[in-house]
């Protein structure tokens, strides 16, 4: 069995990067996407621009779909990759 191991000191930096990335995604990108999409729906209705409101509605579903995939993809990858060890 060959199990990949991060170089000395690299795992701390990788964990920190992934932590910041996850934080930015959950607390900045998803809420900003939802707010922008809802604003597009509202402004499209207020200014009688059906294409803008339709695009905003699609944007809401895209952001919610991305959030759902954010929760599901790690489990799928874990099932595929297991513990990461490879048999020679």
Widest CA span in the chain: 64
Q: What's the pTM value of the predicted model, to 2 decimals?
A: 0.80
Burial class (CB in 10 A: 0-12, 13-18, 19+), 31: exposed
Q: Write down the pLDDT at residue 33.
A: 97
Report pLDDT digits (tens) over 31-87.
999 999 999 999 999 999 999 999 999 999 999 999 999 999 999 999 988 888 888
What pLDDT was estimated at residue 87?
Answer: 84
More confident residue, 20 or 2: 20
Contact predicate 32/67, CB 8 Å: no
Please count the other Cβ atoms lying within 10 Å of the Cβ belonging to residue 36.
14
Q: How far apart (Å, rounded) are the C-alpha atoms in residues 60 and 28? A: 15
């Amino acid at each position: 069995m060959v199990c990949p191991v991060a170089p000395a000191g690299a795992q701390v930096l990788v964990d920190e990067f992934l932590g910041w990335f996850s934080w930015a995604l959950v607390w900045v990108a998803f809420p900003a996407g939802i707010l922008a999409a809802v604003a597009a729906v509202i402004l499209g209705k207020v200014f009688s621009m059906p294409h803008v409101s339709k695009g905003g509605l699609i944007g809401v579903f895209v952001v919610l779909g991305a959030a759902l995939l954010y929760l599901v993809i790690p489990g799928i990858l874990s099932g595929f990759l297991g513990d990461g060890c490879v048999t020679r």
